[in-house]
Amino acid sequence: MTILLAFGMAMILEGTMGYFFTGVYRSANPSYTTDAVHFGDLFIPTAQLYATLVSIALLALLWIYLNHTRLGYATRATMQNRDAAQIVGVNVERVSTISYGIGIALAGASGSLLSFLFTFFPNKHWQWIAILVSLIVLGGLGSFVGTLISALTLAVLASLVSNWLGPTWSPLTFFLSLFIVLLVRPQGLFGKKLEE
């Protein structure tokens, strides 16, 4: 039911944004987009360096929240078994609301970090859904570290495929990895079975 609700909300938001902003491709161009940090012959684009550092900081804060705070324990308990968490005194509605807020905040932060790397338009989210699902399934549902490892691995593989075969073929990396993992190990490389 929540997945259907999420898709419905996505369609409503997409239509609203398309009405107000049109379907024109847009991008953000901060002043540091074209700058780079040089280390001899190696150079690192400043914008991507900043995005990487902020992403690492956000992931570290999320990991600390989930593993070292009472609210993080309550969040994990609610995620694993809602009824059992409620029996031991967790306010499930409050925890769900806070988790939803954190998820929205992280999605907003991620979108702003990607805004100068990729062009975007109202229905761009359809191109990211398959990639995100493959990252989560490959890493294993409920596995924070597994999802992080699968994201890094698939990003490197997609870059290599893009370099060898062209950028049109790089999304195939995610679909192919999803197909192989579901055939070989349905619970993902690091997590629980999908049916759980």
Q: What is the mean pLDDT of residues 137-158?
A: 79
pLDDT, tens digit, 9 for 90 and up, residues 6-64: 778 878 888 888 888 787 787 788 888 788 888 888 888 888 888 889 989 998 999 99
HEC secondary structure over 122-169? CCCHHHHHHHHHHHHHHHCECCHHHHHHHHHHHHHHHHHHHHHHCHHH
pLDDT at 96: 93
pTM: 0.74
Between CA 30 and CA 179 the distance in angstroms is 38
The mean-pLDDT minimum among 26-30, 109-113, 192-196 falls in: 192-196
Going from N- to C-terminal start, the domains of the chain cover 35-120, 122-196
Farthest CA pair distance, the chain: 60
pLDDT at 94: 94
